[in-house]
Structure 1
Amino acid sequence: MKRLILCDFDGTISVKDMGYVLLNRFSSGDWQAIDRDFCEGKIGSREAYSRIANILKGNEADVLRFIRENSHIDPHFKPFYHYCREHNIDVKIVSDGLDFYIRTMLETHHLTEIPFYANQTCFLRDGGMDISYPHVSEECGLCGTCKKRIVRIHRKDYERIFFVGNGLSDRCAARESDFVFAKDSLYPYCIDQDITCHPFQNFSDILGDLKKRIRGIIFDLDGTLIEAYKAIYLGLKEVFQRSGREIFPYGELKQYLKADLESTLDQFFSPEEVQQNIPIMRKKYEEVYLDHTHFLNGAKEVLDLLHNRGMILGVASNKFGRFSRGALNHLGVSSYFKSVIGAGDVSRNKPFPDMIHTALREMGLPPEEVVFVGDTLTDIETGREAGVDVYGLPTGFHTRKELSQKRPKRILKNLKELADLLDQSF
């Protein structure tokens, strides 16, 4: 499978946006006003550059010397690039910046073999600059270099195209690519637009994703694989009735459910009452939960598929351990799981990492070969504390946007996507 990674340059490969660095040093006018108009969408980059060309003044030799002296790239980019070369993954740079500083920075870091697309410049004798746009799109003409057009041009030569970027000019390419590594403002944009992406801070994160091979998956249970809200409500109703209180309507249950039973009861009862009510809740729940527990849509099919592929599976749930194992047995999939850890099986519940650490030991896998799939912010915190990648699933308490605030490795659209992505290793 022939693969291509297209990388933005400014703020992605380069530590800072070299365009801004040069303007701070060599502009003779108010370039910030031009930039504000661009960021607010009042003008495109072509119009911005036409204005900047009038105020960017500098002798070519002085400008190039300044670039070489301030040529700072992500220190992890070179290892990333060399790994890609060794594994036949092509890397190209696509930038809405200016070619002269990209070329100079690549020369400085001995990376001149990397092809790049950018706006072309010519230094004038009076210290000014002429800018042309060989990669502009006829569709809109806003950007000097249309990154979407570059993605489309490469479609005939590559089976999969990945995009790495961070900003405004990367949005169209992100929509056009097969997969996106996103940071800064591009990440929330991808989340809002439902674009499949991984957040990253530097190229070490991307390199880790390229190398990762998933051998095991640990699932949260309620809201991820199964739904047992009715049983939970009946258990709470028993507690409220015995306390002489009227329970809230069933439709409001989700807003009161917390990370574990104790935290849920804490909202309504004193600490002493909570400890008295926990066994009452669990007794009632045990009486009714099997009749009110069912798979979430598509969960059984995905588990069948993963099991048949030999994927090592586990569960880490704040549901009482006995109930977690009972539910999976009742649903006919207990044999699929090498480890099922619930409340009472370890000394601390999620968000502490104890459950996942125990599951990893029982599954016989290191953290880097496992992902944790869950539907809550608590799940994301737990996975991070345990040192495993977390895939968020917006099927329970939280929306895709809410989950994104905790920066999980990935936010799945549904469980089916989990099975699909295992077919598509980087």
Structure 2
Amino acid sequence: MCDWAIIFDVDGVLLELTSAEEELFFQPFARRIDADVLSRDWNSYKIRNDEEIVKEIVARYGLPPIEAAMITREYLALLEGQLALDLKSEVIAGADQLLKQLRGKARLGIATANFRKAAELRLTQAGLWPMVSSLAHGADGGGAKAEILARAIAEVKLPRERIIFIGDNLNDVEAGLRNGVHFIGFSVDANRRSALAQAGAKRLAAQHDETTALIENILGA
């Protein structure tokens, strides 16, 4: 039985979020409002969480609250259909090798602000889902990334000093710090890494071979 858990954010760490995938999220709104005016900046919403963003938009435009569930179902159906056709989920360089190297050394999982089903669909196409599916938490249930990560921590039932979280956003740094776990800030972008460091990330990686080395160092300490 693994006595460590390694939890990954999805977008920016395991997968790239393509513009085509991003637009699918807003497509169900187009039948109800002018979806072109909706911000594509995820940080512009009150809570960076797909479930919360849908609810925020529904409330802002005075749509019946029940529309939130309908929009979510439509989005997930669209995503599944497009992934079965020509939409491709792009794997971050080295992410597949990273997960394969860590199998057996720790329980692997995800804590993402995407809907869990959306993450499953995209990671399945990319061939990564079986490696993280046993500990997979998403936007479902609401809350910021710190709350999503907390739900994963509650499930894994390990001391926090035996949990590693890898993320690429400021809210990921906050989630790691608030939950008292080891945090690794990952980004191929130097400016993003600098911002993560300023937010409190003490371990940073620009490539996943660096992520591997940092994880191995934590596991061996």
TM-score relative to the length of structure 2: 0.75
Tell me the equivalent position of 1:382.
175
| Partner secondary structure for residue 164 of structure 2 | strand
Matched with 2:25 is 235
State whether residues 186 and 211 of structure 2, in contact with CA within 8 Å, keep that contact through their aligned partners in structure 1: no
8 Å CA contact 2:173–2:183 kept in 1: the answer is: yes
Q: 1:410 aligns with which of 189, 203, 209?
A: 203
CA offset digits 1:262-296 (Å, max 9, x no partner) = 55454797153395354243443343256332211
User: What residue in structure 2 maps to residue 296 of structure 1?
Assistant: 92
Structure 1 residue 340 corresponds to structure 2 residue 136: yes
Q: Which runs of 5+ in 2 are unaligned?
A: none
- C-alpha change, 1:288 and 1:235, in structure 2 (3 Å) is farther
- Please list the CA deviations of residues 166-187 of structure 1 after superposition, one character each: whole Å capped at 9, or x if unmatched: xxxxxxxxxxxxxxxxxxxxxx
- Separation (CA, whole Å) in 2 of partners of 1:316 and 1:271: 29
Instruction: Give the structure with the higher percent strand.
Output: 1
Give the alignment partner of residue 8 of structure 2, picking from 197, 201, 219.
Answer: 219
User: 2:52 touches 2:143 (CA, 8 Å); kept in 1?
Assistant: no
CA offset at residue 393 of structure 1?
1.5
Q: Distance in 1 between matches of 2:127 and 2:10?
A: 15
By how many angstroms is 1:305 displaced?
1.2
Distance 1:218 1:406 in 2: 20
Distance in 1 between residues matched to 2:145 and 2:162, nearest whole Å: 21
Give the structure with the larger helix fraction: 2
| Matches of 1:328 and 1:415, distance apart in 2 | 17
Name the CA shift for 1:339/1:295 in 2 (closer, same or farther; >3 Å): same
Q: Counterpart of 1:324? A: 119
Distance in structure 2 (CA, Å) of the matches to 1:316 and 1:412: 19
Partner of residue 369 from structure 1, selected from 148, 162, 185 = 162
Aligned match for 1:310, one of 105, 130, 136: 105
Given that 2:8 and 2:166 are in contact with CA atoms closer than 8 Å, whether structure 1 keeps it comes out as yes
> Would the alpha carbon gap of residues 422 and 391 (structure 1) be closer, same or farther in structure 2, given more than 3 Å must change?
closer
Code of the aligned partner of 1:221: V
- For the residues of structure 2 that align with 1:325 and 1:255, how far apart are their CA atoms? 20
Q: What is the one-letter code of the residue matched to 1:287?
A: G
Partner of 2:78: 284
- Whose RCO is larger (CA < 8 A, sep 6+)? 2
% same residue: 23
Cα deviation, residue 374, structure 1? 0.7
Consecutive unaligned residues of structure 1, counting only runs of 5 or more, are 1-213
SS state at 2:114 partner: strand
Structure 1 residue 260, shift from structure 2 partner: 1.7
Structure-2 change in CA distance of 1:370 and 1:255 (3 Å): closer
Change over 3 Å in CA distance of 1:273–1:392 after alignment to 2: farther
- Specify the SS of the correspondent of 1:273: coil
Secondary structure of the residue that 1:310 maps to in structure 2? coil
Once the two structures are TM-superposed, the CA of residue 231 in structure 1 deviates from its matched residue by 1.6
* C-alpha RMSD of matched pairs (Å): 3.2
Q: Does 1:349 align with 2:143?
A: yes
Q: Distance in 2 between matches of 1:268 and 1:394?
A: 32
Paired residue for 1:270? Answer: 60
What residue number does 2:34 align with?
245
Q: Give me the whole-angstrom Cα distance separating, in 1, the residues matched to 2:173 and 2:41.
A: 18
Distance verdict in 2 for CA 1:387–1:274, change over 3 Å: farther
Query: Counterparts of 1:274 and 1:293 in 2: how far apart (Å)?
Result: 32
- Counterpart secondary structure, 1:349: coil
Answer yes or no: is the 8 Å Cα contact 2:167–2:173 preserved in 1.
yes
Amino acid at match of 2:165: F
Q: Using the TM superposition, give the Cα deviation of residue 301 of structure 1 relative to its aligned residue in structure 2, in angstroms.
A: 1.3
Write the distance in 2 (CA, Å) between the matches of 1:285 and 1:296: 20
Counterpart residue type for residue 5 of structure 2: G
Q: How does 1:73-84 map to 2 (within 5 A)?
A: none
**Secondary structure at 2:138 match in 1:** strand
Task: Look up the match of 2:186.
Answer: 393
Q: Displacement, 1:329?
A: 2.9
Q: Who wins on radius of gyration, i.e. which is larger?
A: 1
